[in-house]
Amino acid sequence: MKARSLLQRLFGRRGADDLRGAYVSSRRHIVLGGCGRSGTTLARVILDSHPGICCGPESKVFLPDPLRLARLAERFKLDPARLRAAVAASGSRAEFIDRLADLCCDSTGKARWAEKTPRNVLYLDFVFGRFPQARFVHLLRDGRDVACSLRTHPRHRVVNGKLVPVNTWRPMRECATRWRDSLLAVKPYLADPRLHTVRYEQLVGEPRATIGRLLDFLGEPWDERVLAHAEAASEYRDATKFPQNPEALRPIEQKAVRRWERDMTAEDRAIFKRIAGDLLVEYGYAADDRW
């Protein structure tokens, strides 16, 4: 109960801001975020294929959400006792993040830790406030394709350790709004030199050049293994740990680019234009509203 109480104190939404404390990290963590279905999982698998970077499933540690230690230990294949000790030794949420990074690096034998949770993009104030040396990777994708993908997300759930298909159908309004809100959250930070935007279309269309620019931004050397992420051996390749996108384990492909042309009805397009059409133009995905 004592450990559980401490966990709630450190991670509960109600006290998250107060308990973040004055701790400021000097670590050069890599943080990934962006609207869901924008390629965040693909990017994290690619980075995890680099011999110097470990990037596992979503931990949500940068969010103000309560966390479950048992789930965190299971997802990252960590010793629960060491994880509890890290919580007990942390005086703030940010300090715990550093301790979690150390555990993950020790577990994988890699030097640098990266964390991917799409909603990280909503908490850039915390990321840069407590981790001023961190580097943020923002994944951006055509909002129309994002909305079409979000509409059927998730496509799988885990039952008895296996992926089982589910039928999801979300309203277009909800999907367009989520894309819009993610872009508006990151907008104030676009000029920050600690943030780098990776467009999904470039990642799948020109992977060598796009990943090369990303590694340059991160200050990491090029390694050919990032182009063979589907073949990499890693502790973090179990698709049941991220059932929302098992396709990220496959070789890079472009079939999901411009899927909106075949998936969106006239009504869908009208809804999206009303909610986020201006951002499509602003980010160069459309010349005007006549698409």
Which tens digits make up the pLDDT trace of 1-36?
454 455 455 555 534 444 445 899 999 999 999 999
Query: In the chain, what are the domain boundaries?
Result: 2-142+181-246
The residue behind tokens 């943030």 is 195
- CA–CA separation, 137 vs 256, rounded Å? 21
Give yes or no for residue 169 having a pLDDT over 80: no
- pLDDT > 70 in the chain, percent: 85
Question: Which CATH number is 2-142+181-246 given?
Answer: 3.40.50.300
Average pLDDT, the chain: 89
Work out whether the CA dihedral 152, 158, 159, 162 comes out positive or negative.
positive
pLDDT digits (tens, 9 = 90+) for 212-245: 999 999 999 999 999 999 888 787 877 666 655 6
With CA atoms as reference, report the closest residue to 63 among 120, 128, 101, 131. 120
Tell me the residue ranges of DSSP E strands in 160-246.
162-165, 195-199
- Average pLDDT for residues 69-76, to the nearest whole number? 91
How far apart CA 14 and CA 188 sit, in angstroms, is 26
Closest to 103 (Cα-Cα) out of 128, 131, 79? 79
Question: How far is the first Cα of the chain from the last one, in angstroms, to the nearest whole number?
Answer: 57
More confident residue, 55 or 240: 55
Strand pairing report for 30-33 and 135-140: parallel
The model's pTM is 0.90
For the record, the structure tokens of 39 come out as 């390629």
Q: Nearest-5° angle of CA 43, CA 287, CA 183?
A: 40
The 10 Å Cβ neighbour count of residue 107 is 17
Spatial CA neighbour of 42 closest among 126, 149, 147: 149
- Please report which helix (H) or strand (E) contains residue 110, including its range: none
Which tokens in the block code for residue 183? Answer: 């872009």
* Res 3: pLDDT: 46
Residue 208 pLDDT grade (very low, low, confident, very high; cuts 50, 70, 90): very high
Kindly state the tokens that stand for 127.
């990321």
